[in-house]
Amino acid sequence: MALEDDLHFWLAMNKVPGIGPKRFGLLIRHFGTARAVWEASAAELAAAGLSPRAVEKFLAARASIHPAAEAERALREKLRILTLHCPDYPRLLARIPDPPPVLFVRGELRPADEVAVAVVGTRTPTPTGRLTAERLAGDLAAQGITVVSGMARGIDTAAHRGALAAGGRTIAVLGSGIDVVYPPENLHLYEEIAGGGGAVVSEFPLGTDPLPMNFPARNRVISGLTLGVVVIEAASDSGSLITAAHAAEQGREVFAVPGPVELELSRGPNRLIKQGAKLVEGVRDILEELSLPVLSHAEVATTRETGGLSADEERVLCALTHEPRHVDLIVRETGLSSAQVNAALIMLVIKGLVRESPGSLFSRLR
């Protein structure tokens, strides 16, 4: 993995205490490049809006952080590093307020991961809650939806395992450096996700411990990567409610699985439902709210056999060539309805298999 020169400075800036996503973005916009920020004088930093104390901290950190060393460390870890300026940076995440300037990735992020739903909840679930998370995540994954969670104990772990067991994809967002596995008993899960089941991501510098202050920031990334967040079992002070709050602020859908009123872990989801969250009894509730097609059991089986394409998607793809074709022609050749063809084309574009051109024209990319 080769690193561009300016990326060295993104990595270095990402380590400076007190330079969070908002201030990082302001500095990049003011100076144009991370290298220009890194090499700026005290007066130039002050002119960019940093307080005297912030300038002092920046200069002190700059004296001890070496961009080349940060790049070498990243190379040794064999990571993929995405900055906000990278074309492959997740588009949904880039649209949230103050997105992570740098994203460390193990595994693979795919265009299809833009159709994602987060499943989160308590670290100490009931057996019913754990089973619900596994089943719901598995049902989402079987429908071709990427399941996002935080790899914490409890509901998060159950969600990741449910998605993997269904043969789907899952993304784990860490509250530590990507080289720090937490909780440690999830090492095998981490390796399974990064090794082919999806991706592990973190915005924190290498070596960052899983400090409590990191998790609210981590939660905004979980919601930012998704179309919606499902909460399963959460006490009234659960961090999962922070994820739901971020989702609402980011314009994502909020879902909740109700629970018995006498159970403390039901208070979070039940309160969300009172506040307007969509009540979830099964995967269909989520898909309908997000206007996503619901695949039949036969279509799910076909999807697995064809490497992630539904029967309609496979049919539409076969009707396409590398030369642009109008959607009306695709409807005639496939025998599908306009709604079916349009839904399939949207998914094929998201999955990176089809290009859309002006005038309702579509062509194959592979």
For residues 113 and 225, the answer to whether their CB atoms sit within 8 Å is yes
For the domain 297-364, what is the CATH code?
1.10.10.10
Kindly state the average pLDDT of the residues 144-173: 96
Answer with the residue of higher pLDDT: 119 or 4.
119
pLDDT of residue 302: 53
pLDDT > 80? residue 268: yes
Which residues lie closer than 8 Å to 145 by C-beta, 6 or more apart? 115, 116, 117, 168, 292
Q: Using 50, 70 and 90 to split pLDDT, how confident is the model at 354?
A: confident
Q: What is the pLDDT of residues 294-349, one digit of tens each?
A: 876 666 655 555 556 777 888 898 889 888 899 999 999 899 988 888 888 888 88
Counting Cα atoms < 13 Å in the Cβ hemisphere of 24 gives 24
Q: Using 50, 70 and 90 to split pLDDT, how confident is the model at 3?
A: very low
pLDDT of residue 146: 95
- Quick one: fold of 1-75? DNA polymerase; domain 1 (1.10.150)
- Distance, in Å, from the CA atom of 98 to the CA atom of 186, rounded to the nearest integer, reads 29
- Quick one: fold of 107-289? Rossmann fold (3.40.50)
pLDDT of residue 307: 54
Does the pTM surpass 0.85? The reply is no
Annotated domain spans of the chain: 1-75, 107-289, 297-364
Cis ω for the linkage preceding 111 (within 30 of 0): no
The residue behind tokens 């909780």 is: 183
pLDDT > 50? residue 2: no
* Percentage of residues of the chain with pLDDT beyond 90: 72
